[in-house]
Amino acid sequence: MSSITLDARAPAARPASSIKALDDKAMLRAAAELTRDLIAPKPHVYWADMVGSALLGYAALVAAVTLSGGWAVAAGVVAVLALYRAMSFIHEVSHMKHVGGMRGFRQGWDALVGVPMLIPSFMYEGVHTLHHAKTRYGTVEDPEYLPLALMKPWTLPAFILISALAPVGLLIRYGVLAPLSLFVPSLRKAVVERYSALAINPQFRRRAPDGEAKRYWTRVEAAASVWAIVLIVTTVSGVIPVRAFLIGFGIASAVAVLNQVRTLVAHLWENDGEPMSVTAQYLDSVNVPPPTLLPALWAPVGLRYHALHHLLPGLPYHALGEAHRRLSGALDGESPFHKASYTGLPYLAAKIGRSTLGRR
């Protein structure tokens, strides 16, 4: 859920893991059959988790601004983790059917999180699902894929550090470019195509929405633009103290960096651009299941089961843990299902780092 521009592939032979492997039918069949009863989302879980995380995050943000010393630092850490969790629900919204018990969740998330944090849902809806398309994953048409393991070593720290500037980019996009684009058609085209998607592939260009999607986009973008302009004007005029603004910016920047670190280890990033089977896509993705505890903080809202999510993209986040337990017990040790599980972030980051160092 971040946007950077990197293009520094090192010439190298295609790794074995990126070959178009055949699908493991036993794993795919078990995944479908053993999780049918888990497919329905639980609205009370979604609402309680999202609203609770957002309110805790905002309360901690206020505390970080008003307190000093160690208490301010502690409040800032809580704000980062809580707001990161609340913002991660954009991933669930992008997969959500906005009907039945989940009707209104997108609007609620946008009002409480998307607009205030300047990442409205339209920046992921219609974008993230392309990442799950069987013929697009890992190709140049995938908005969320870069062959990071095949690129120059300097791209990894750049990938992380650039994300720290995301709050500035969002403030400019909504507070400056969006209103100006109303009067400059060519700018509007660029804003829609290049600055309206949480993507990491610099070649990706999104299509303009139409119908109800366009009407919702317009309303939410207008709200985000008004909020961004208010933030800019009140800070410049001194209504919001510079210290408070900088603390808020620092927390938002830390959230973006944390998410970028998670993105770095969400896949092995070894595909060179060719289409992959579902099984190959699964094996290029990462699960970090229990008993490891820290992934609950740096990969919240089901993101610790990223490979499983690629296997079952329609499964709600609160069901992924149970689905993983069922499949782990049902599939034998030779199944590729077990080969996508890793011990934690340090190992995964080191693995990708070693891949890039080997291609200098």
Q: Summarize pLDDT for 169-193 with one digit per residue, the tens.
A: 999 999 999 999 999 999 999 999 9
Ranking 145-149, 162-166, 354-358 by mean pLDDT, the lowest is 354-358
- Over residues 151-156, the mean pLDDT reads 89
- Say how far residue 274 (Cα) sits from the centre of its chain: 23
Rg (CA), the chain: 20
* Cross-strand bridge partners of residue 305: 287
pLDDT band at residue 16 using 50, 70 and 90 as cut-offs = very low
Task: Output the pLDDT for position 98.
Answer: 75
Average pLDDT, the chain: 91
Which is more confidently placed, 60 or 275?
Answer: 60
Determine if residue 327 is left, alpha or beta; phi over 0 gives left, psi from -120 to 50 gives alpha, anything else beta.
Answer: alpha
Residue-wise pLDDT tens digits, 331-345 = 999 999 999 999 999
| Mean pLDDT of the 272-290 span | 93
Cut 0.85: pTM above it: yes
pLDDT value of residue 14: 36
* Predicted local distance difference test score (pLDDT) of residue 21: 62
**Between residues 57 and 138, which one has the greater pLDDT?**
57
pLDDT score recorded for residue 2: 42
Structural contact between residues 198 and 123, judged by C-beta atoms closer than 8 angstroms:
yes
* 247-259 mean pLDDT: 98
pLDDT exceeds 60 at position 17: no
pLDDT tens profile 296-310 = 999 999 999 999 999
Distance, in Å, from the CA atom of 80 to the CA atom of 89, rounded to the nearest integer, reads 15
- What's the full length of the chain, in residues? 360
For residue range 98-116, what is the model confidence (pLDDT) as tens digits?
A: 767 899 999 999 999 999 9
Which of the four pLDDT bands, split at 50, 70 and 90, describes residue 360?
low
Q: Where are the alpha helices (DSSP H) in the chain?
A: 25-34, 43-66, 69-87, 89-95, 105-109, 128-131, 155-162, 166-172, 178-181, 185-194, 211-236, 242-264, 278-283, 295-298, 306-311, 320-330, 345-357
75 CB burial (10 A radius; 0-12, 13-18, 19+): buried
Residue 357: per-residue pLDDT: 80
Q: Which residues pair with 285 in a beta bridge?
A: 267
167 prior amide bond cis, ω within 30: no
Q: Which residues, 6+ apart, have CB-to-CB distance to 58 below 8 Å?
A: 79, 83
Q: What percent of the chain has pLDDT over 70?
A: 93
Strand partners, 341: 287
Asked whether the predicted pLDDT for residue 19 surpasses 90, the reply is: no
Asked if the model's pLDDT at residue 90 lies above 90, the reply is yes
Tell me the CB-side half-sphere exposure of residue 169, using CA atoms within 13 A. Answer: 18
Cα–Cα distance measured from residue 16 to residue 69, given in angstroms and rounded to the nearest whole number:
51
- The Cα 119–Cα 201 span in angstroms is 18
Q: How many other C-beta atoms can be found within 10 angstroms of the C-beta atom of residue 314?
A: 13
Mean pLDDT of 8-13: 35
Find, among 311, 274, 349, 346, the residue nearest to 16 by Cα.
274
Average pLDDT over residues 59-82: 98
Other Cβ atoms within 10 Å of 89 Cβ, number: 26
Query: Is the confidence at residue 86, as pLDDT, over 50?
Result: yes
Confidence of residue 273 (pLDDT cuts 50, 70, 90): confident
pLDDT score of 4: 40
Confidence band for 356, pLDDT divided at 50, 70 and 90 = confident
Nearest to 261 by CA among 328, 154, 345, 333: 345
Residue 267: strand pairing partners: 285
Q: Which amino acid type is present at position 241?
A: P
* pLDDT score, position 101: 84
3-state secondary structure 246-270: HHHHHHHHHHHHHHHHHHHCCECCC
Average pLDDT over every residue of 72-89: 98
Tokens of 125: 């809806």
Q: From its phi and psi, is residue 126 left (phi > 0), alpha (psi between -120 and 50) or beta?
A: left
